[in-house]
A and B are shown apart, each in its own frame.
Chain A
Amino acid sequence: MRFYRILIFLSILLPAGWFQLAAQEPFFRQVTLPGANTGFRINAICQDSSKFVWLATNDGLWKNDGLNFSRVKLPDAISGNSIVSVSAWPDGGVIAGTANGKIFKVVNDSILLVPVLSFEIDVPVSCIYVPVQNEIWFSTMGRGLFRMLGNEVTNFTVVDGLGDDYIYCIASDTNGNIWTGSDGGLSQVFRVNDSFKIRNLNTSNGLPDNIIRQIIPGPGNTIGIGMEEKGFCVYDIRENLFLYKTKFDNWSYGPVTSLVRLENEFWLGTQKFGIIDFEFQADRRMRQFSASSGFTGQNVNALLKDHEGNIWIGAGNELFLSPGEKIEFKRQIADVSLNTIHTILVDRQQNMWFSNDSGVFCYRKNLKDEFRVSIPQSKLLTEPLNVISLYEDMYGYIWMGTFDYGVFRYNPIMDEWLNFSEKEGLVNSSVLSIDGDGKELWFATLGGVSKCILPDSNFKSGIDFVSYNEENGLGNNFIYKVFVDSKKRVWFGTDGKGITSFENGTFKNFSEAEGLKSKVIYSIAEDKNGMIWLSSSGEGIYRFDGKSFRNISVDQGLSDLNVTSLIADNSGNIIIVHKKGIDILNPDNFYLLSYGSEMGIGIIDPDVNVVDADDKGNVWLGTTDGIIKLKLENRVGDNKPVLIINHVLCFLEKVDTTTLNVFSYDRNHISFDYTTIWYADPQKISYQYKLDGYNQEWITTRDRFITFPNLRPGSYKFMVRTSVNNNFSNAEIVSYDFRIRYPFWQRSWFIIAVTSLIILLLYFYITYRDRRLKSIDRLKKEKIESQYEILKNQVNPHFLFNSFNTLITVIEDDKNVAIEYVNKLSDFFRCILTYREKDLILISEELELVETYVFLQQKRYGNNFKVLINIPQAIRNQCLIPPLALQILVENSLKHNSVSRETRLVVEVYEESGSYLVVKNNINPKFTKEPSTGIGIQNLKNRYQLISSSELVIEETSDYFIVKLPLIKIQTT
């Protein structure tokens, strides 16, 4: 009780007293891990080259797919083991280490154990570092440091000079040297020619603690070091100095087990006390994040800064995400309520001035460099100052514009106050905005504007105000904002008459005629290219390029049309403040990003123009939900959401897109699985896709999986783009070209081949038919010729004459023989008449004819002419012969040879080797040759060519004339 009394007493004693403060804090939100129970523990976090975030946990490896985390299915050899380390593999995927010494890679969804040849590692693989493909460094808790280059393994231990074999961490410095932290301090492993040398740093070199739990690269050529007992320090490699040691002299937060570096801060993850934030740049202040920031973790084992600048925090079984330094909230300073801030200013000494309903406050450093809040109160007034505008002039004096009481000039060092109101020449005593350039100050009021020129720094009074109003060309007298731009033009935002500029002594008003639809202008800012930006009530924002106005509205992604404040930050962004939150605009490409609940921003409903930008690039906003500090490292849009087509699937099976983009006609069910990585706010992501060759319009969706069933053959281009605000105009397109082949019967080569085949077949058919017709013609012709020849021969007068002569002699001798002779003769002619129409006759039939003929001739030649026939019965009845073929040959032999007792003619007819019928006669040429037409044999030969595959053969020796007729077998049909 007594303690409280002292407090009350002190606060009465010091109306402008000092209060203990609560620091501003970043925002944290928890990321859900489905199935992570109380025993779950995150050991390490990493981000791969495709920007996916991975977790090494005691319950396997987890991967984020852009929206959610899920367990990676591991093979039996690994699953069940605690994963203690994970690092990005250079060309995608990760490499991870287990608590029992196993190392494995996860690349392209496949898991590969990495064997450490000839070493038995049974202790945890505490850290893995892969500087380049194929070179793997890893540390173990008890077996030293390893380097694997392909299959070659090198082990560094105490024996090789390493501080200790129990190693917690590896990092590399800017020169590519490897650093490890162990129970024996810090070890540097560096290459000398072809071997590695080790240099150790421990307490004897000034290292505060020998147990080094975590190291990370720091700014410049430094290493940030987290220790078991002594907190944190930074080692400057070039200067060989340990920095910030004394800041951690009284460290009482236990082991620092994880580290992450932000632009100006290190976040130290501790085992029991959550995160300690150490700002190493300016203030060197340290702060512990409280549960009110959204961070409730204690055992912080893993920290990661992703490519968007978000900080991932693995704390026991919980995972948190924070925008980091980007945005911080101050909702309470001591007992000062920050829920209705009317104006804010951060001066060049980093003191923060702000006002609320209870007056004006200054949050500034005291002599001990600690920030405290004080309440400046002018003795000129009895009630608290109702300050609605603040400005710091070139001398460091603070100008406070009030409602109804004019403007106060405050000297914060001397606590001196001066007051200027309508009495002193100010145009109106309600000052809504103050701006200036050097000694020239402008005051925007409810009754016009006033200008003054500051005398030297020690002035006490005697300032002359020059005032302007509607009559001088000002749009109207109610001015929300005065803004002096880089060209020393002065801009006035009016309530009802648009914007007025003041340049070279003249006012110029811009309103609807110049394209400025909105009449109420709340706020004015200037971007780095000298463009003027205006915020309006109800019409969004405008850019003025000196000639015309361009409106940025909801269609361009703006979240609210009623914009209360605009301000340009150091990184080149325009910060747009409205009731629903904050939009950030890249003024060059109009890329817009909104900050809302994902950044911890709720309904902030701010007053008009409660913004300020300090020299360090921070933008400060006063809202009904406290003070928000924004610090953007980049322009928005420099870090756009990363869109990746994860898989292309054909009939729901993954396709290797590196090798395949042509599908056969029946593989035409194509799906795409894509995702956007935008960890800042994955819920805001939407997509547009289109399949060139299928549809023409972009289709907007939130789905991350799309299927095109039954695609027709043809060429396609799948295109997808992503946006965080449904404005796709600047979005990059990710595409996949593919083709579905026509079925082979629709492809040109097939059509050509088939057509040519048909043509060829047609050609062959025609020529064949042609040939057949020709041969039939020829056969007919030959047959006619042969018939003619035979007829001619048989009606040859010689034959008849000879026959009749023979008959005469026979009649005289023997009447019966004569009758037989005439019968035979008539048989002979009848046979000729019967057979001549036929193409082929049986050999037996032919032989009958020949025998008749021979009979007739033998009556004439007697035994001087002999025909010896020796043909087996089988051949006689099964083989065919053109009619009269043998007869012609026999007749020919009679025709060409003399037949007498001295020159007998013997004709042999026999079968040769089953393929020929041979007619052979001896040669006794006649002295006077009978006239020969030469048609006989030739005609026979031609006929054989047409009816048989074998040819008729003629052999002539000095003694014999031989004709071989091919045997034609009866075709059994």
Chain B
Amino acid sequence: MLNAVPGFLVIGLISLFSFIYPPEKTIFKTSSGKISFLSEAPLETISAESKELKGIIDTVKNTFAFSVSIKTFKGFNSPLQQQHFYENYMEVDMYPVATFSGKIIEIISYSKSGVYEVRAKGVLNLHGVKSERIIKSTVEVKNGEIEITSRFSINLQDHNIKIPRIVFQKIAPDIVVDISATLQPQQI
């Protein structure tokens, strides 16, 4: 129940956005984006994926907000690994959600189909630590939908994610995150 609260907040945010800008299709959103991470360390490769990435883009303000519940990450090598990930590293009880919200630096014509390389500048809130990030993404406008793909890395130390010494060999100091999401126009 605890982890549902922030998720609810994001949904609230989304509905707020949709409430403020009702007439045009200026709000695009999804709640089923894909996000996966990969940690390549000498001894072990860890990867997991969530298909419940929630996202919203305001095409007028050129702003965005993404959020994912940590517990939706699945596909670990073993149940023990998953438990370590949830409890020891991500401390999911305290920090159930990771968010990234901010603005898009590049100017995109959302009404035309096309592929854009953009930078998303915002605050990445992961494991309770906020860091200002510029993340490169590919935005494709196609059939009135927005498709976002992005690959970026997260330094675990930056987000105060502590890994026990013994396990350190298993987890890379930087993990690579992949995102792909299709956002649909929001109709009121």
Contact = CB atoms under 8 A, between A and B. Distances in A.
Interface residues of B, number: 7
Contacts of B5: none
A183 interface: yes
Given A183-B121, A228-B134, A211 B105 contact: yes
Interface in B37-95: none
A211 B105 CA distance: 7
A211 B107 contact: no
A657 to B, nearest CB: 47
Residue among A164, A183, A203 with the highest chain B CB neighbour number at 10 A = A183
B121 A203 contact: no
B103 interface: yes
Contacts of A229: 119
Nearest to B105: A210
Nearest to A142: B132
A183 B103 contact: yes
Contact of B106 (A164, A166, A203): A203
A202 interface: yes
Interface string B98-120: 00000101110000000000010
Interface in A180-239: 183-184, 202-204, 210-211, 228-229
B149 to A, nearest CB: 19
B107 A183 contact: no
Contacts of A210: 105-107
Interface string A160-179: 00001010000000000000
Nearest to B103: A183
Contacts of B134: 211, 228
A429 to B, nearest CB: 68
B96 to A, nearest CB: 27
B87 to A, nearest CB: 31
B121 A202 contact: no
Interface residues of A, number: 11
Nearest to A164: B103
A183 B120 CA distance: 11
Contacts of A184: 105
Contacts of B107: 202-204, 210
A204 B105 CA distance: 12
A204 B103 CA distance: 17
A203 B109 CA distance: 13
B179 to A, nearest CB: 20
Interface in B18-37: none
Contact of B119 (A164, A202, A204, A211): A211
A166 B134 CA distance: 13
B28 to A, nearest CB: 21
Contacts of A166: 121
B113 to A, nearest CB: 19
A99 to B, nearest CB: 13
Nearest to B121: A183
Contacts of B103: 164, 183
A782 to B, nearest CB: 115
Contacts of A183: 103, 105, 121
- With a 10 A CB-CB cut-off, give which of A203, A210, A229 has the most chain B CB atoms: A210
Nearest to A228: B134
Highest count of chain A CB atoms <10 Å: which of B103, B105, B119, B134 = B105
A204 B107 CA distance: 8
A228 B105 CA distance: 11
A228 B133 CA distance: 12
B154 to A, nearest CB: 18
A211 B134 CA distance: 10
A202 B107 CA distance: 9
A164 B107 CA distance: 13
A202 B103 CA distance: 15
Contacts of A228: 119, 134
B62 to A, nearest CB: 9
Nearest to B118: A210
A729 to B, nearest CB: 58
Contacts of B121: 166, 183, 211
Contacts of B119: 211, 228-229
B125 to A, nearest CB: 16
B83 to A, nearest CB: 36
A789 to B, nearest CB: 124
Contacts of B105: 183-184, 210-211
Contacts of A204: 107
A211 B119 CA distance: 10
B152 to A, nearest CB: 14
B108 to A, nearest CB: 11
A189 B152 CA distance: 36
A210 B106 CA distance: 7
A228 B135 CA distance: 12
Interface in A903-925: none
A203 B118 CA distance: 12
A395 B119 CA distance: 56
Interface in A514-567: none
Contacts of A211: 105, 119, 121, 134
B135 to A, nearest CB: 13
Nearest to A202: B107
A210 B119 CA distance: 10
A882 B87 CA distance: 127
A874 B105 CA distance: 119
A112 B160 CA distance: 37
B123 to A, nearest CB: 10
Interface of A: 164, 166, 183-184, 202-204, 210-211, 228-229
20 contacts: A164-B103, A166-B121, A183-B103, A183-B105, A183-B121, A184-B105, A202-B107, A203-B106, A203-B107, A204-B107, A210-B105, A210-B106, A210-B107, A211-B105, A211-B119, A211-B121, A211-B134, A228-B119, A228-B134, A229-B119
Given A183-B103, A211-B121, A228-B134, 4 more contacts: A183-B105, A184-B105, A203-B107, A229-B119
Listed from nearest, the 7 A-B pairs whose CB atoms lie closest are: A210-B105, A211-B105, A183-B121, A183-B105, A204-B107, A210-B106, A203-B107
Interface of B: 103, 105-107, 119, 121, 134
